Amino acid sequence: MSSNPTAQDRKPDPYPGRLYLIFALLAFVSTIGLDYTAARRGEKAYLFASRTVRKEAAVTSVPLADSVRRFLETSGVPVPWEGQLEPTDGTPRIVIQLPRENYATLERRLEKELQTKGASVKKEKGLEEELTSYSWRITGKQQERLTLVFALLEPAKKEEEKEKAPPSAPENRVAIIIDDMGTSLEALKEVCDLGQPITISILPQSLYAEETARIAHQNGLEVMMHLPGESLNHEEGNSSTPGLIRSGMGSEDIVSLVEEGLSRVPYAQGVNNHMGSKITQEEEVMRPILDLLKSRGLYFLDSRTTSDSIAFDLARKMGLRAAYRNIFLDSPVGTDFTKKKVIDLFRLSQKTGMAIAIGHPFPETLRALRESIHLLKKYRVTPVFASEIIPD
């Protein structure tokens, strides 16, 4: 029996397989090394991101004038490339002609564009020979300056439209006067909040007379002095009213009271009577009052507290600018009735071309005015100050 092992008893040699594995690992490590080296060099790599620092292109800032030009041109606004320089500081100045109806939309968009670029704008409105213009003084982040002048063009009317156009109708004007002011600053605020050309008449001896006149003037209202005068009756403290002008007073005393009252009501452009149903019937009392107003260039408004008043007629004979009240707005029955009075005022203006109303700062009256202002457009009447409605 042979002692040599058989083929089945022999074990396979393991080393060739190990060699294959070693070669494979070496190849893998080499691949990784080459990929890493390529990444370090900035070349194309598969496993490692390239570490090459790419230089970004230098950003060149666009001049302010060029930036604005591009925006306007992309907005459909033709911009002339030929400009001029401001003579004072050499700021570039560009004049652009633009239809009026296109300006409002462009204005909002251009303001927004400039805000995104950190630029500031100052605007000035000009009016020369019926041509409206807006000057935009623009300052950029880098203190660049640019002036844009928008000359607004009015739409041209066709010749046939001009020929067919009817003559303009006379303007229907109304003047609303609020009497007895100077006792409440809250009432003054309500009048200012109406946003209309209201005339206020201030009692000269009232607690807030001067302050009321000043605030009213600052808010664009017209100021009158509400001159106290003796009435036929003695209701509502008539006899004890401060600064009251009485029947039988001498001319010097009358003039002194009027002058003192005017000194307490700055910005007064005219005078109307507070009460005064007695003195407005007496020429000897009214004449020195009207003489003084005429010498100071003030107008007179007869409140017409009596139908027998001669004050308006006397003022006109003396050559003084004067008018009289048509309608009283106040009502003892509430807001709704005062609203009807407001409508009566508007209708009277439509008939005669002008009308004057007097009211007092009662809550009901002020509320009625607030709720009736929108009717101005419906009745096609224009509110004006008393001075604008009183004829020369």
| C-alpha–C-alpha distance, residues 202 and 360, integer Å | 11
Helical segments of 135-184, H only: 159-164
Is the overall model pTM greater than 0.85, yes or no?
no
Sheet architecture: strand order including 145-153: 84-85, 92-99, 145-153, 131-139, 120-128
Contact 229, 281 (CB under 8 A): no
The ranges assigned to domains in the chain are: 64-153, 173-389
Do 357 and 392 touch, CB atoms closer than 8 A? no
Hey, what are 361's tokens?
């700062």
Residues 334/364, Cβ–Cβ less than 8 Å: yes
Name the superfamily (CATH) of residues 173-389.
Glycoside hydrolase/deacetylase (3.20.20.370)
Contact 211, 205 (CB under 8 A): no
Side-chain-facing half-sphere of 174: CA atoms under 13 Å: 27
d(Cα 335, Cα 348) in Å, to the nearest integer? 20
Q: Residue-wise pLDDT tens for the chain (392 aa)?
A: 455 555 455 555 555 666 667 767 777 767 777 766 666 666 666 666 555 444 444 445 678 888 888 888 877 777 776 667 776 677 888 888 878 878 877 888 888 888 888 888 888 887 655 567 888 888 988 888 888 888 887 766 555 544 554 454 458 999 999 999 999 999 999 999 999 999 999 999 999 999 999 999 999 999 999 999 999 876 555 667 889 999 999 999 999 999 999 999 999 999 999 999 999 999 999 999 999 999 999 999 999 999 999 999 999 999 999 999 999 999 877 788 899 999 999 999 999 999 999 999 999 999 999 999 999 999 999 999 999 999 88
DSSP 35: H
DSSP H/E element including 33: helix 15-41
CA-derived radius of gyration, the chain: 43
Q: Which of 178, 282, 280, 283 is nearest to 229 (CA)?
A: 280
